[in-house]
Amino acid sequence: MTDLVVRPLAAGEEHLFTSLPATGLVGRGLLGQDYAEQAARGQYRPEWTWVALREGVVVARAVWWGGPDAEVPVVLDWFDFTDFDAGVHLLRTAPWRAEFSLVVPPGWRDRPDVLNEVTERIRAVEAVGLEFLVERYYYDWTPVNGLPPKPGRLTFRPEPDDTVVLDVFRRIHVGSLDAHVRRTVEAHGLDAAAQEDLDILSGMPGPRDWWRLAYTREGDLVGLIAPTKNPHAHVVGYVAVVPEHRGHGYAYDLLVEATHELTGHGAGRIVAGTDVANVPMAAAFAKAGYPVRAHRIDLV
């Protein structure tokens, strides 16, 4: 690969990144996101954006995402190529090591053109040491989908004390079906997993006082909701039930409450996600009228 040049962008070279035509079959474009929009928010940066050029032509590109105040990126957000070996070489050369999130359309396995693009990207990131973790549903709700009525079985109260919420996270992470949570618990323990989720949600732009704890009429804790916002939309940041109250369909009650909370704060669009393997949560989203807009495949 002596003729291949791999390097980050310099400021003002954004045209190089966009010079590689995208097929539009997979990737962030399926969610309406583009490079310029993310760069304007400080979430894509020239030093986090790498290209592989052969004779001045971009044959592979990758960009890592991080929050506006982040010192290092946290996820490989965009990766495509016209030259497989160049794509692998780019990933090996760039200094960033992070999870890869690949957005794909529903039914992607039944479309040979999409399946090929997904397979080739996964093969490339696996060549540099990443492994499949989970496939997730990406939901996109608007009022046209209908606002589900509240079941009325639970009461919801704000909880401003982070130490209380942290303890709730410890409880809901026991036996969790979420692949990311399970991975963190297995590697670092319940305390680390609880702190990680609290930190992620606290770092989102939605107000902290939107969060609620859910209780039965007898006063038993059922679970937690964390409706919030990301830079693009209102978000069902978290919905979870404590182990002793699972199996009663409460995930639906919590999701409906989160939806009402967000619409009460002006949400005209709500995004959310859950693991494909998390059957109870996926059933709650379906019952509440949340349509699946895309899937997301995470490799770590």
d(CA 234, CA 269): 6
Residue of 70 and 5 predicted with greater confidence: 5
d(CA 260, CA 202): 21
Read off the pLDDT of each residue in 27-53 and give the average, rounded to a whole number: 90
DSSP 209-273: GG-EEEE-TT--EEEEEEEEE-SSSEEEEEEEE-GGGTTSSHHHHHHHHHHHHHHHTT-S-EEEE
| pLDDT value at residue 2 | 57
Per-residue pLDDT of 174-208, as tens digits, reads 999 999 999 999 999 999 999 999 999 999 999 99
pTM of the model: 0.94
Indicate the pLDDT class of residue 168, thresholds 50, 70 and 90. very high
Average pLDDT, the chain: 95
Q: pLDDT at residue 32 above 90?
A: no
Tokens describing residue 155:
């009461």
Q: Which helix (H) or strand (E) is 94 found in, with range?
A: none
| Domains with residue ranges and CATH for the chain | 4-130 (3.40.630), 144-295 (3.40.630.30)
| pLDDT value at residue 128 | 97
